[in-house]
Amino acid sequence: MLLYDSSSNKDTEQIFHTQLVKYGVSYVKAAKTAKILASGKPEELLTEEENRLVTETCREWLVTYNRYKKIQEIMPTK
């Protein structure tokens, strides 16, 4: 079981949210997902809706993140 104090939970939530939005997830969807991820609840305790949202959002993030990494390989920064 993961335990977070409220300040580190908020920090963790903010980091998740920033990364999700950075790679194309909508602001509202990222906020909901970040809150779930930062809660530290084990997957077994998530509701079906929470589980679906997290899975869908992470897949969306991964597609865009992988696209970004491929572009970085092709066009390295100076």
- Lookup: tokens for 16: 């998740």
What is the domain partition of the chain in residue ranges?
Answer: 6-74
pTM tops 0.85: no
Tens-place pLDDT, residues 11-60: 999 999 999 999 999 999 999 999 999 999 999 999 999 999 999 999 99
Residue 25 DSSP label: -
Say whether pLDDT at 1 is over 60: no
Give the number of residues written for the chain: 78
